A and B are shown apart, each in its own frame.
Chain A
Amino acid sequence: MELYEYSAHELSKMLSEKKCSSEELTKSVLDRAAATDEKVGAYLTVCAEEALKKAREVDEKRAKETLHPLAGIPIGIKDNISTKGLLTTCASKMLYNYVPPFDAFVMKKVNAADMVVTGKLNMDEFAMGSSTENSYFKKTHNPHNLDCVPGGSSGGSAAAVAAGSAVISLGSDTGGSIRMPASYCGVVGLKPTYGSVSRYGLVAFASSLDQIGPFGRNVTDTAMLYGVICGHDNMDATSADREYPDFTALLNSDVKGLKIGIPEEYYGDGVDNSVKETVMNAVKELEKQGAQIVNISLPSTGYALNAYYIISSAEASSNLARFDGVKYGYRTENYDSLIDMYEKTRSEGFGDEVKRRIMLGTFVLSSGFFDAYYKKAKLVAIEIVKEFNAAFEKCDVIATPATPATAFKLGENIGDPTKMYAADICTVTVNIAGLPAISVPCGRVNNMPVGLQFIGRKFSEQTLLNAALAVENNYGEAKPVNV
């Protein structure tokens, strides 16, 4: 068995017992990336030399002291997370040459844990999309079927972990951008509670919805990485000031007495029947093991997609206004005035989907339309929060499909934005309400992975990880896919 095939928690043990070195492991992962990435296209930037240098340093350090459990383990980073001295393009022409002068909060944590960054991972441009087809640089393919998309927007982060070109990775989730690719690629992805992971250094898409989260091939790896990145940050005003437990140590797959809510709205017409069936079978397995199934209702779910696209686009139109060609990134070559420079830079620098959302967001914030759109959407958000609160009076977690169907074919939805947007139907409510949710593999439909999503109360990540572990125990941990 090659080193890249092991999980992070196995490798952690092997490294601490000196059964392998970080250098050997890093080399194995880099070789795997070299062997697979031409087909998968998960990486935008591979930093092989820096990674091997770091790995050697960690090996030397390990000889002298006890290190963090994830020390020496390779990790891939979504390309919208600022990495000091390393290209951070957001998969956009606009930032094709942008090298941040500082590290994101999560990168400081990752570096402090002595993890080895192997590179930056592909995504939909500025995290807008559900297929990673919106990257300016390349398309990422689903390792389970190269004709299919890996999901998005963190498609590179999910595909790399699925293919074994990363052991674990970081992504970001604004409306499902971790959970959907996790589901499509058959790996575990956690979208943490809003405020539990600092957004400092995450290039903003929609500030009130964005959250960084971990990917792993299993629940334990995911829990370990989440434990590294969560925590208070006084550089982020929306960061929650609280203590976090040792999630990995507290992992427990016993579901006796766990009340699992099943919201009828998430099993409606828009969701593929075999996906519904697969997810319900997984839930019924848990019921057999002592969990209790509770039927619940979240009636405003039908408005969530609209509210989500209004709020996220409004914020995006403002967040992306700074990309104007003045200070960094792309600037058009020929222009004859300031306005001309702005217009050409932004017309040429952004892709179609980004422009579509900037226009949508600009429109909904315009004077005369603000009340009808943005304000209404915020009212929907309040209703959604209320309904979740009421639901969590009756259950501990809510189980739904993570996506309405399995991964679609590349190019299948490209001409139809609203169809593409509909793929987010199971995930957006979670971001609107600021809740944590996890996607865990629970079987296959047409030989493609299906993800079960558990949604929990704020800061109930432990409960979600435990429930996901119970599912994982029934279906087995994911292994790198043959590409």
Chain B
Amino acid sequence: MEYETIVGLEVHAELNTKTKIYCNCKNAFGLEVNTQICPICTGMPGTLPTLNEKVVEYAVKMGHATNCSINNVCKQDRKNYFYPDLPKAYQISQADIPLCENGYVEIMMNGEEKRIGITRIHIEEDAGKMLHNDAFQGSLVDFNRCGVPLIEIVSEPDMRSSAEAKAYLDTLKSILQYIDISDCKMQEGSIRCDVNVSVRPKGSTEFGKRVEMKNVNSFSGAMRAIDYEANRQIEALERGEEIYQETRRWDDQKGMNILLRSKEDAQDYRYFPEPDLTTIYMPLERVEELKNSLPELPNAKIKRYVKELGLSQVDAELIAENLPRCRLFDECIKLGGCTAKNVSNWVLADVSKYMNETGKDIADSNLTAEKLVKIITLIESGKISNNSGKIIFEEIIQNNADIDKVIEEKGLVQISDDSAIEKLVNEVMAANQKSVDDYRGGKTNALGFLVGQCMKASKGQANPAKCKELVLKYLNG
């Protein structure tokens, strides 16, 4: 029988507010254990939370960016459970009235748009982190993460494959980055997700029993977890077994999951309204203001790149999916003077290579849109070669060099003058008579070698197109 996989995701994103959600501690990752804490975020007796209003604003922005309706009057609730990394033994979250609900995002699958429903987005606080140290008998807790603001984005069960889930996650990530509310660093745990998977015979309209998977720590891990779980369920059904609603723990190293708890053991979180906090209220004017403050979002950008700038869908997506890249690209296009295609090539090749190799943001480098546009314009006008452009690019990155100075000092001005190149070609042909004969004897691949020799003789300064043209003229002449 053929089966269909159904996927729903619960994504937790840490917000990049300056301070935590209910106290004034710094919201920062990677600092020394238990230094970013106070009596409030460690839940000392008698302390009280006060809401960081920025958290509400950030979440409302995400709601707008995912086409949600905003509950501008809502409340916060306590989710009660015991764990050593949760010092109050309850997490302040939102239960029946989330800040945002009933939205959607559009993902691209094989060149086609698909809509994935967003059930709800709510705000909540993060818990601390358990640490295990061999030198210490037992467990340790780092409370730095306690009270770091989170939004939980719950999707509808609208995805039908791991690839769709990945596309959805990538889309959410780029939206979060575009509206600048989360650092989206998977390795720092600033985005995490729980995965819900069920399968059903193809054509069926009823959902199968849903299995929730915890401990999914990367987008690629999510894909592996979904594929594994869908297969596990299909194999079980094929064997005539029943699927149970349960929670399983994904082990990415082993590439498999294990049962964590069955439905009967599901925790009762005893949600009730948080009495220490008052109702959240955001005036409708502010809700609108935040909507209007949103930047152009990834999907709109991709459409514009393809329609107005003539980029390929693939290139448009590649640029749009990475915010620093796309900022640089947009600035270059705004400055003008060179073709979008060439800007795209540079951004996706040299600039991306630099970012990948150094792990640095282009905004923190010496390269500016002005400089990049100047390089491309010089190439397009034939003043310098593509290779020289790369040399200049390196010089800018390494030494913050002045473009004109580099051209002058390194003699990078391209020779496009016919008579000068012709002289050069004649000399090179004379010195490589054997290859000239080979070509004329039908070994046409000798052409590349001869053009290369000319370029070499010109120390890379000859216009390659011109060179090729004149070599051909010589050979066929």
**Residues of A with Cβ closer than 8 Å to B?**
81-82, 88, 90, 95, 98, 100-102, 104, 199-204, 206-208, 234-238, 314-315, 317-318, 321-324, 326-328, 338, 342, 362, 365-367, 370, 374
Query: Do A238 and B278 touch (CB < 8 A)?
Result: yes
Contact A207 B275 (CB under 8 A): yes
Interface residue B398 (Cβ < 8 Å from any Cβ of A)? no
Q: Mark B74-95, 1 if CB is under 8 A from A, else 0.
A: 0000101010100111100000
Decide yes or no whether B108 CB sits under 8 A from chain A.
no
Contact among B84, B270, B275, B277 for A366, CB-based, below 8 A: B270
Is B39 close to A, CB under 8 A? yes
Please give the distance in Å from B9's CB to the nearest CB on chain A: 24
Q: Assuming A237-B51, A365-B270, A367-B268, is B82 touching A321 (CB within 8 A)?
A: yes
Known: A82-B45, A204-B276, A208-B275. 10 other contacts (CB 8 A): A95-B45, A98-B45, A100-B44, A100-B46, A101-B44, A104-B46, A322-B43, A324-B84, A365-B271, A370-B272
Is B45 a contact partner of A238 (Cβ separation < 8 A)? no
- A318 and B270 within 8 A (CB): yes
Cβ of B325 to closest chain A Cβ, rounded Å: 42
Name B's A-contacting residues (CB within 8 A).
39, 42-51, 78, 80, 82, 84, 87-90, 141, 268, 270-272, 275-278
Please give the distance in Å from B280's CB to the nearest CB on chain A. Answer: 11
- Does A203 contact B46, Cβ atoms closer than 8 Å? yes
Partner of A238, one of B47, B80, B276: B276
Q: Given the known A-B contacts A207-B276, A342-B82, are A322 and B51 also in contact in the complex, defined by CB atoms under 8 Å?
A: no
B268 contacts A322, C-beta separation under 8 Å: no
Closest to B79 in A: A318
CB nearest neighbor in A for B42: A327
| Cβ–Cβ contact B272 & A82, under 8 A | no
Complexed CA–CA distance, A326 and B42 (Å)? 11
Complex interface: chain B residues within 8 A of A321 (CB): 80, 82, 88-90
26 A–B contact pairs at CB < 8 A? A82-B46, A88-B46, A95-B45, A98-B45, A100-B44, A102-B39, A102-B47, A201-B47, A202-B46, A207-B275, A238-B276, A238-B278, A314-B272, A315-B272, A317-B80, A318-B78, A318-B90, A321-B89, A322-B43, A322-B89, A324-B82, A326-B84, A327-B87, A342-B82, A367-B270, A370-B271
Tell me, in angstroms, the Cα distance from A318 to B84 when the chains sit together.
15
CA distance A468 to B42 in the complex (A): 42
Measured between beta carbons, the chain A residues less than 8 angstroms from B90 are 318, 321
Please state if B89 and A324 are interface contacts (CB–CB under 8 Å): yes
Q: Is the beta-carbon distance between B78 and A237 smaller than 8 angstroms?
A: no
Is the CB–CB distance between B46 and A318 below 8 Å?
no
- Of the candidates B42, B50, B82, which one forms a contact with A237 in the assembled complex, judged by CB atoms under 8 Å apart? B50
A365 contact set on B, CB distance < 8 A: 80, 270-272
Measured in the bound complex, the distance between the Cα atoms of B50 and A100 in whole Å is 20
Which of A201, A206, A208 is in CB contact (< 8 Å) with B46? Answer: A201
- CB of B141 within 8 A of CB of A326, answer yes
B48 & A199 in contact (Cβ 8 Å cutoff): yes
Name the B residues within 8 Å of A206 (CB-CB): 275
Asked if A326 and B87 make an inter-chain contact with CB atoms under 8 angstroms apart, the answer reads yes
Q: Is the CB of A318 within 8 A of B80?
A: yes
Q: What is the minimal beta-carbon distance from B23 to any residue of chain A, in angstroms?
A: 9
Chain B residue with the shortest CB-CB distance to A342: B82
CB contacts (< 8 Å) of A95 on chain B: these are: 45
Question: Taking the nearest CB of chain B, how far is it from the CB of A145, in angstroms?
Answer: 34
Please name all residues of chain A whose beta carbon is closer than 8 Å to the beta carbon of B42 when the two chains form the complex: 327
Which B residues lie within 8 Å of A328 (CB)? 44
Closest 8 pairs between A and B when the two form their complex, measured CB to CB? A321-B89, A365-B270, A207-B275, A208-B275, A203-B45, A201-B46, A82-B46, A203-B46
Contact between chains at A318 and B48 (CB < 8 Å): no
| Separation of A365 and B269 alpha carbons in the complex (Å) | 9
Q: Enumerate chain A residues within 8 angstroms of B270, measured Cβ to Cβ.
A: 317-318, 362, 365-367, 370
Q: Judging by beta carbons under 8 Å apart, are A237 and B49 in contact?
A: yes
**How many angstroms between the C-alpha atoms of A338 and B88 in the bound complex?**
16
Instruction: Assess the B272–A318 pair: CB atoms within 8 A.
Output: yes
Report the Cα distance A315→B87, complex, angstroms: 17
**Whole-angstrom distance between the Cβ of B246 and the nearest chain A Cβ:** 18
Please name all residues of chain A whose beta carbon is closer than 8 Å to the beta carbon of B50 when the two chains form the complex: 234-237
Q: Is the CB of A200 within 8 A of B272?
A: no
Smallest CB separation, B81 vs chain A (Å): 9
Look across to chain B and name the residue whose beta carbon is closest to the beta carbon of A375.
B272
- B141: which A residues are within 8 A, CB to CB? 326
Which residues of B are found within 8 Å of A366, using beta-carbon distances? 268, 270
Chain B residue at minimal CB-CB distance from A236: B48
Report yes or no: A204 in contact with B89, Cβ–Cβ below 8 A.
Answer: no
Output the residue of A104, A235, A314, A318 with the most chain B CB within 10 A: A318
A338 touches B278 (CB 8 A): no
Give the CA-CA distance A314 to B278 in the complex, in Å.
Answer: 18
If A208-B275, A322-B87, A366-B270 touch, whether A235 touches B48 (CB-CB below 8 Å) is yes
Question: Whole-angstrom distance between the alpha carbons of A314 and B271 in the complex?
Answer: 10
Chain B residue numbers with a CB within 8 Å of A324 are 82, 84, 89
B82 — which chain A residues lie within 8 A by C-beta? 321, 324, 342
Q: In whole angstroms, what is the CA distance A102 to B268 when docked?
A: 34
Chain A residues with CB under 8 Å of B277's CB are 237-238
A180 CA / B377 CA spacing, docked (Å) = 86
Quick one: closest A residue to B141, CB to CB? A326
What separation, in Å, do the CA atoms of A202 and B48 have in the docked complex? 9
Contact A315 B275 (CB under 8 A): yes
Min CB distance B395 to A, Å, is 54
Contacts of A317 in B (CB 8 A): 80, 270
Pair B80/A237 contact, Cβ less than 8 Å? no
Measured CB to CB, the nearest residue on chain B to A102 is B39
* Shortest Cβ gap from B48 to chain A (Å): 5
Distance in angstroms between the alpha carbons of A344 and B346 in the assembled complex: 65
Task: Considering the complex, give the chain A residue whose CB is closest to the CB of B45.
Answer: A203
Residues on A with C-beta less than 8 A from B39 are 101-102
The CA of A328 and the CA of B44, in the complex, are separated in Å by 9
The chain B residue with its CB closest to the CB of A339 is B82
B315 CB to nearest A CB, Å: 50
Closest to A378 in B: B273
Q: Which of chain B's residues have a CB closer than 8 A to the CB of A370?
A: 270-272
The docked-state distance in angstroms from the alpha carbon of A100 to that of B45 is 8
Report Cα–Cα, A34/B130, bound state, in Å: 48
Q: Which residues of B contact A100 (CB under 8 A)?
A: 44-46
Bound CA–CA A338/B275 (angstroms):
29
Which A residue sits closest to B39, measured CB to CB?
A: A102
**Residues of B contacting A315 with CB < 8 Å?**
272, 275
Question: A207-B276, A318-B78, A321-B80 in contact; A102/B44 too (CB < 8 A)?
Answer: yes
Query: How far is B275's CA from A199's CA once the two chains are assembled, in angstroms?
Result: 12
- Residue contact B44 to A200, C-beta cutoff 8 Å: no
Expressed in whole angstroms, the minimum distance between the Cβ of B291 and any Cβ of chain A is 27
**Contact for A200 among B48, B84, B87, B88, CB less than 8 A:** B48
Chain A nearest CB: distance from B45 CB in Å?
4
Instruction: Tell me the smallest distance from the CB of B76 to a CB of chain A, in Å.
Output: 10
Once bound together, how far apart are the Cα atoms of A88 and B87, in whole Å? 19
Q: Which residues of B contact A234 (CB under 8 A)?
A: 50
- Chain A residues with Cβ below 8 Å from B89 are 318, 321-322, 324
Asked if A200 and B80 make an inter-chain contact with CB atoms under 8 angstroms apart, the answer reads: no
Choice from B45, B48, B271, B272 contacting A322 with Cβ under 8 Å: B45
Inter-chain contacts of A104 with B (CB < 8 A): 46
B118 vs chain A, min Cβ distance (A):
25
Among B39, B44, B78, the one with the most A-chain Cβ atoms within 10 Å of its Cβ is: B44
Cα(A237)–Cα(B281), bound, Å: 13
CB distance from B96 to the nearest CB of A (A): 11
Are B268 and A200 interface neighbours, CB within 8 A? no
Report the Cα distance A362→B80, complex, angstroms.
10
**How far apart are B251's CB and chain A's nearest CB, in angstroms?**
21
**In the complex, A116→B250 CA distance in Å?**
59
Which residues on the A side are within 8 Å of B87 (C-beta)? 322, 326-327
Residues of B contacting A235 in the complex (Cβ-Cβ under 8 angstroms): 48, 50
Complex-state Cα separation, A323 to B42, whole angstroms: 12
Bound CA–CA A59/B91 (angstroms):
48
B84 / chain A contacts, CB cutoff of 8 Å:
324, 326, 338
